[in-house]
Copies of this chain bind each other. A is one copy, B any other.
């Protein structure tokens, strides 16, 4: 296969011209030494717990007992870093480095130490021999630092532990950061993931003037853990077609194979990066000129770099007669038995000495000054960029008063109104007041989720071809829509972690597509909270709508309320779940979420017009408590009730209130209390969750011995899981979604799951002592009423008038 050695690959191989420039040669020799220093430190981290500068021969006690780490990808990561530094220092170009293969943690820790940032963040790891010893020892060591580009790593917003999200993070970071260059190294393993494959279309959403630049660097080292990668095993033409098909102009650098001198590769890499940076400048200048001239800004063809270097480049070529460099065997720890096998140990020492540490570090173990001078200064260092510690750059949102958009609720049962529709009108104000740091993402559902109000204030940003007849679509806009939940999530994460704010709106069922991405973001936040130099970032806010109870069009496949269950497995400090029952409580909830920091807020709310229960003031008070008795729907008058009806979620609240209406009419003597829950975490123990209600308060609401019938939006077990330590838990009976559904009417859906008002009344009769015998007739009437509704619906195709037209009698 013919491979281009470097340069723009316009379908043919281009040989780079090496410039006979002595100064450049010297620069590149210095660069090579800096790179060798980074590699030396990387190998040291994987293997050594002592003797960091090899001042004595390597002995077993210098070697860590457990050898953990990923060498294979590391020299490529340090190579790119060193070369980017040359450009950044020269051009004073603010840059962020996104490490797709974040498991190459030693590499990015090493560069941070070389740039001095590591010692600034961690005083116990100074920039000298003692610091180097600690740097080595702590890596993948109990009580030390993780093996990945974790939150502990300066300069990182992306751990890369779960592959696939680098490119989306990079684009998210670039949005609204016109000065920023985001260099995104994508491993060829990562390139196989669906998330990464789908992220290539991000360039259709990047504005070439008002957003920054993303430079994807597809690093083909050819192998994953134990197998070749797909991208490395297709003809180069095919790969370049793919990249062109993704709207990029590919540049190719291929080097280091068959023992090629790294100096030759450095020269080509410097050339190709010069070409690329010049091309980026031309693109941005052209776009700025277009905009200045009032022309429509077109999507440019951004460069992409394909970088082929051997896996484990500069490491052992063979171990025990088996090839390692350039194979999958270089993935983790190439020499496995260094402590016990003298031959391996000698080979490690030879490997370490091959970087010539004496040329890199002075007698104190400090990086030699001529090398230290290579890195950019201060915040220009990629390891120190404030963009990778977004909380430093975070500005509070300007939040207009949501009361201006509140629904008028003269009394309970007003409306009907759409909760998300109401929210959309307020979000338009939020968008307008925060043009530079607030984005709404979602998979083509802004209108379907009834948030179209935002389009009075902004458009969908889209750099693909726009046509007459398109609605609310422009080259600039604060809404990003792409039918790819992973990409929505990745873009928003990148945006938040670099110090901005946002909201993800999504069909409730399909948010599970990002379960695993949520995990990673939650873990990032969990860890970041314990790192003093990381500043709090804006919370990740989910608005889940088009929910389980109202999938009239789509049916069973679109019904899954379990994302909250998934979220609650993460640490209580960072997760919140809200189920506002109507429009004003939704406004108050989202207002609260947009002010919060370092959390994941899940808000579940309906889009269909429904009854409104609380005025603005009542909503604000109710949301502040998160849980409370609705006096107007209770008749226990401050005394002890016979039964408590709990409810959480808009549809369950409607059914619970309608059940109260039935109970009042049929069993006026029964003392009923209705407790509505907005903040689900209030149900949990205060020792388990910061929002947890003290036992005394919980008992005050739900009693210690009375039956509780709880109508819940999602899977019933969640309520049990949250309340199992409560004194009255044994009496809590939960109705919720039990995985019954199809394309049917709203009331038929609640009936299918026994969450309907009639069934709640039956539950009350069954659970309140004495009622079952005395009111067997009423119970039968409820059974019959359910049958009537079912029959009516099957015959007429819509809900029976007595449920469809029901209103709270007030």
| CB < 8 Å neighbour of A512 from B142, B467, B519 | B519
Minimum CB–CB distance for A63 against chain B, Å: 10
Complex: A294 Cα to B792 Cα, angstroms: 69
Looking at the complex, which one of B228, B233, B245 makes contact with A241 (CB distance below 8 Å)?
Answer: B245
Evaluate contact between B243 and A142: CB separation under 8 angstroms.
no
**Does A398 belong to the interface (CB within 8 Å)?**
no
Inter-chain CA distance A234–B463, complex, in Å, is: 9
Interface: A247 (CB within 8 A):
yes
Does A686 belong to the interface (CB within 8 Å)?
Answer: no
Contact of A516 among B199, B241, B462, B510 (CB under 8 A): B510
Contacts of A193 in B (CB 8 A): 194, 198, 483-486
Which residues of B have CB within 8 Å of A464? 228, 230, 233-234
In the complex, the answer to whether B65 meets A796 with C-beta atoms within 8 Å is yes
Q: Are A199 and B189 in contact (CB under 8 A)?
A: no
**Which of A347-355, A549-557, A584-592 lies at the interface?**
A549-557
Restricting to A533-565, which residues have a CB under 8 Å from any CB of B?
552-558, 560, 562, 565
B794/A142 in contact, CB under 8 A: yes
Known: A194-B487, A201-B192, A553-B147. A245 touches B242 (CB 8 A): yes
User: Which of chain A's residues 647-664 have a Cβ closer than 8 Å to chain B?
Assistant: none
> In the complex, A161 Cα to B164 Cα: how many Å?
24
0/1 string, A232-244, CB within 8 A of B gives 1: 0111001111111
What is the copy number of this chain in the assembly?
Answer: 2
Select A444's contact among B49, B162, B224, beta carbons within 8 Å: B224
* A445-B225 contact in complex given A230-B482, A553-B68, A744-B142, C-beta closer than 8 Å: yes
Chain A 679-708 against B: per-residue CB contact (8 Å), 1 yes, 0 no?
000000000000000000000000000000
Q: A148-B555, A197-B197, A444-B225 are in contact. Are A560 and B519 (CB under 8 A)?
A: yes
Contacts of A630 in B (CB 8 A): none
Please determine whether A473 and B516 come into contact, CB atoms closer than 8 angstroms.
Answer: no
The answer, yes or no, to whether A460 is at the interface (CB within 8 Å) is yes
Q: Are A204 and B234 in contact (CB under 8 A)?
A: yes
**A226 (CB) vs chain B CBs: closest residue:** B447
Q: A230-B482, A483-B163, A798-B66 are in contact. Are A469 and B327 (CB under 8 A)?
A: yes
- CB–CB A225/B448 < 8 A: yes
Q: Which residues of B contact A715 (CB under 8 A)?
A: 569
A230 touches B204 (CB 8 A): yes
Residues of B within 8 A of A481 (CB): 227
Select from chain B the residue with minimum beta-carbon distance to A143.
B794
A743 with B147: CB separation less than 8 A: yes
Q: Which of A712-735 contact B (CB under 8 A)?
A: 715, 717, 720-721, 724, 729
Shortest CB–CB separation between residue A297 and chain B, in angstroms?
Answer: 15
CA distance A465 to B232 in the complex (A): 8
Additional 4 contacts, C-beta under 8 A, given A143-B744, A150-B555: A142-B748, A193-B484, A332-B553, A569-B739
